Amino acid sequence: MNTAAKKFRLTLIHPCVGRWAGDRNYIRSWQMEPLAPAVLAGLTPENVDVRFYDDRLEDIPFDEATDLVAISIETYTARRAYQIATEYRQRGIAVVLGGFHATLCPDEASLYADAVIIGEAEGQWQAVLDDARHNTLQQVYRQPQRPDLSLTRLDRGIYEGKRYLPITLIEAGRGCHFRCEFCAVQSYFNATQTRRPVDHILDEVQRTRKRGSFYFFVDDNITSNFDEAKELYRQLAKHRIRWVSQASINAAHDEEFLDLISRSGCEGLLIGFESLERETLRLMKKKFNTMGGGYDVALANLRKFNIRLYATFVFGYDRDTAETFEHTVEFANKHKFYMAAFNHLTPFPGTPLYQRLKDNGQLLYDSWWMDPSYSYNKIPFKPTLLEPEELQQLCIDARAEFYSVPNMLRRFADPVNRSNFFMARHFPLINFMMRREVYQRNDLPLGDEGWSGQLTPLHGHT
């Protein structure tokens, strides 16, 4: 046999957040296409045999022959990613870790992998593959500046046969220029945004288009570069698609922008309102939320262009009390948001928030994402005016109240939420799914509770 002709084998893994022992069900709203492995697959030469497994949907065949395993991790999936990496490394297979968490905690990630990629994959991935092929993997790969996103290519063929939500994820830009205290995005990208060429994005829309297509532009903030974003939506209007995305509230004060996104098929935006308190917004470094007359003016503008909202709120800052929740749920119901999230503050590593809480002695865990006693929805810090358990329960109660049947019916009757048949038809499906998951997510383990292995850091890595 000519070993020189043997194809190099690459296995891409998308880890789940976690699961209870023996439970194969997974939270449905978390089952979207993962873009990171598709980007890696698209950057991989054709002479490499690529296989992809999604830990949320299927068992991982650890004994299947492969030469390299690559896992992109976020903080919530880090513990599970390290379990998976351990399984492969015990079989003598090299593992490379990348993504947000590996970049923000490279020393930790390097304890469970042969190599860590710091930053984005474009411009680095070829070197990783070449080194792995020649058994010369470096412990750390990093590049001094952000890469050109014209290099980005996606191989969506890896999704075939997998039961994802019927929504196509597309990335037009990465990063955000705001410096919100709690946001890991600004830490990862250093408060910058880069964008893909408009023609690349439009080509991807055309290649993925099918009957009933619905798109989610996963950009961290579609308003970070208004000029380039506006050009995209001018062009996108010719393609007659339906899409949703994420934006900061300043979008609501640019009527040209609202008109453009409405004409281009925007059905809704996720907007981080976060708090109704001006002082809390100041602490968050989100004073821009109060610009242009504040929320009332912004919401009136959004309503004028039939932009439905997924409004998100964050609780746990110094002034937050039980009354803060009452006022916020009342506000969300008053404005009849299509969806809303009531989340506790999460100190992600590498953020100014994490450092502040650590300096103040408020963190309850050294690394909450790694602690076996921590589970999803637990509060990993000591709030000022609430007990951690009280804050956790108040978030759950706020979700339960917002997604109560009477409130869902009142919101469903809103003219904006019913302004087209497609979004009106999906309103009950989405809202009842969110209602079902109010308690389903609570206390979900981080990592697979039924995993029988043991996380053992590699000695000698730093």
Residue 1 within a domain: no
Q: Taking 90 as the threshold, does the pLDDT of residue 105 lie above it?
A: yes
Q: pTM value?
A: 0.94
- Within 10 angstroms of residue 54's Cβ, the number of other Cβ atoms is 22
Q: State the chain's mean pLDDT as an integer.
A: 94
Report the number of secondary-structure helices (H) and strands (E) in the chain: 16, 16
Question: Could you give the percent of the chain with pLDDT greater than 90?
Answer: 89
Residue 459 within a domain: no
- Within 10 angstroms of residue 174's Cβ, the number of other Cβ atoms is 23
Instruction: Name the pLDDT band for 3 (thresholds 50, 70, 90).
Output: very low
Q: Taking 60 as the threshold, does the pLDDT of residue 459 lie above it?
A: no
User: Same structural domain for residues 100 and 162?
Assistant: no
* Type of residue numbered 367: S
The tokens 């194809």 sit on which residue?
A: 7
- Kindly report which listed range (35-39, 178-182, 425-429, 456-460) carries the lowest average pLDDT score: 456-460
Burial of 51 (0-12, 13-18, 19+ CB in 10 A): middle
Domain boundary among 148, 177, 194: 148
User: Same structural domain for residues 78 and 190?
Assistant: no
Domain boundary among 82, 115, 148: 148
User: How far does Cα 51 stand from its chain's mean position?
Assistant: 23
> For residues 333 and 90, what is the distance between their CA atoms, to the nearest angstrom?
52
Residue 377 within a domain: yes
User: Same structural domain for residues 139 and 242?
Assistant: no
Question: Average pLDDT in the 424-438 region?
Answer: 94
Contact 79, 370 (CB under 8 A): yes
By DSSP bridging, strand 214-217 and strand 242-247 are parallel
Q: What is the CATH number of the domain that holds 89?
A: 3.40.50.280
Contact 204, 236 (CB under 8 A): no
pLDDT at 290: 81
Residue 456 within a domain: no
Residue 153 within a domain: no
Question: Average pLDDT in the 45-70 region?
Answer: 97
Q: How far is CA 7 from CA 10, 49, 96, 436, in A?
A: 9, 6, 19, 46
CA angle (349, 352, 354) in 5-degree steps: 40
User: Same structural domain for residues 167 and 143?
Assistant: no
User: Same structural domain for residues 104 and 55?
Assistant: yes
User: Same structural domain for residues 102 and 220?
Assistant: no
User: Same structural domain for residues 200 and 309?
Assistant: yes
User: Same structural domain for residues 304 and 424?
Assistant: yes
Q: How far is CA 371 from CA 78, 376, 424, in A?
A: 11, 11, 42
pLDDT tens-place string over residues 324-374: 999 999 999 999 999 999 999 999 999 999 999 999 999 999 899 999 999
* Type of residue numbered 346: T
User: Same structural domain for residues 270 and 418?
Assistant: yes
pLDDT tens-place string over residues 297-314: 999 999 999 999 999 999
Instruction: Name the pLDDT band for 1 (thresholds 50, 70, 90).
Output: very low
pLDDT at 5: 61
CA angle (81, 86, 89) in 5-degree steps: 125
To the nearest 10°, the Cα dihedral for 131, 133, 136, 139? 60
User: Same structural domain for residues 319 and 395?
Assistant: yes
Q: How many domains does the chain have?
A: 2
Domain coverage including residue 69: 8-148
pLDDT tens-place string over residues 168-210: 999 999 999 999 999 999 999 999 999 999 999 999 999 999 8
Residue 448 within a domain: no
> For residues 460 and 462, what is the distance between their CA atoms, to the nearest angstrom?
7
User: Same structural domain for residues 334 and 432?
Assistant: yes
Q: What is the CATH number of the domain that holds 306?
A: 3.80.30.20
Q: Taking 60 as the threshold, does the pLDDT of residue 150 lie above it?
A: yes
User: Same structural domain for residues 169 and 112?
Assistant: no
Element (H, E) at 447: strand 447-448
For every residue of 395-416, which 3-state class applies, written as one string? HHHHHHHHCCHHHHHHHHCCCC
Residue 447 within a domain: no
Residue 451 within a domain: no
- Kindly report which listed range (115-129, 288-302, 355-369, 434-448) carries the lowest average pLDDT score: 288-302
Instruction: Name the pLDDT band for 159 (thresholds 50, 70, 90).
Output: very high
Is pLDDT larger for residue 294 or for residue 119? 119
- Within 10 angstroms of residue 209's Cβ, the number of other Cβ atoms is 13
Give SS3 for 295. helix
